[in-house]
């Protein structure tokens, strides 16, 4: 693998914020231009199909050929979910790293977020950690810098123009 690929980043810096409603919001520091990227959420879409197949497999004779066929179908659905997620993350991280010289990102404690049983399925469907991992290695590969902002820094509450802190309700 190459250490660095020659890429000329056109823009100076960007701030990145991850969320459940909108997967990533990229806000340019120079302007107030925000790009919002919605995740495909493949697990949520395939949830009913998985449930039907898993129920079918549980009712079949243990170890039979038909049960093996059903398990193979379940495996293909999981593989498709994984492929959709990987493709989305690749298509989001590569242009970001190629466009910006400096990427500022909030540090997330994904393991702690997964402890919330109401949000854990949505968080695991999005792939937050994989997104950060890809950003890190692509920044090294393309010569960009990744700055991790402390998780307690109120980046969502701070105005990008004047820097003042605003109180926002948790649902915004």
In this prediction, residue 69 carries a pLDDT of 98
In this prediction, residue 70 carries a pLDDT of 98
**Digit-coded pLDDT (tens) for 57-112:** 999 999 999 999 999 999 999 999 999 999 999 999 999 898 888 888 877 777 78
Asked whether residue 2 carries a pLDDT value surpassing 60, the answer given is no
Residues, the chain, total?
172
Asked whether residue 15 carries a pLDDT value surpassing 80, the answer given is no
The mean pLDDT value for 36-62 works out to: 94
The mean pLDDT value for 146-168 works out to: 68
Q: Are 19 and 63 in contact (CB under 8 A)?
A: no
What 76-80 contacts at long range (C-beta under 8 Å, 24+ apart), as own/partner pairs, is 77/46, 77/49, 77/50, 77/53, 78/50, 80/42, 80/46
Q: Are 145 and 101 in contact (CB under 8 A)?
A: yes
If you average pLDDT over every residue of the chain, what do you get?
83
Pairing of β 145-149 and β 100-106:
parallel
Q: What's the CA gap between 26 and 21, in Å, rounded?
A: 14
């Amino acid at each position: 693998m190459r250490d660095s690929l020659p890429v000329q980043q056109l823009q100076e810096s960007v701030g990145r914020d991850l969320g459940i409603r909108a997967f990533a919001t990229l806000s340019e520091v120079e302007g107030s231009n925000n790009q919002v990227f919605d995740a495909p959420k493949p697990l949520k879409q395939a949830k009913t199909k998985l449930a039907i197949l898993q129920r079918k497999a549980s009712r079949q004779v243990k170890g039979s050929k038909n049960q093996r066929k059903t398990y193979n179908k379940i495996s293909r659905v999981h593989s498709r979910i994984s492929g959709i997620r990987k493709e989305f993350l690749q298509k989001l991280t590569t242009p970001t790293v190629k466009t910006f010289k400096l990427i500022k990102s909030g540090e997330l404690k994904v393991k702690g977020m997964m402890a919330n049983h109401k949000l854990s399925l949505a968080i695991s469907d999005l792939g937050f950690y994989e997104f950060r991992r890809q950003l890190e290695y692509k920044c090294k590969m393309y010569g960009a810098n990744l700055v991790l902002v402390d998780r307690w820094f109120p980046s969502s509450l701070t105005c990008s123009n004047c820097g003042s802190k605003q109180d926002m309700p948790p649902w915004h």
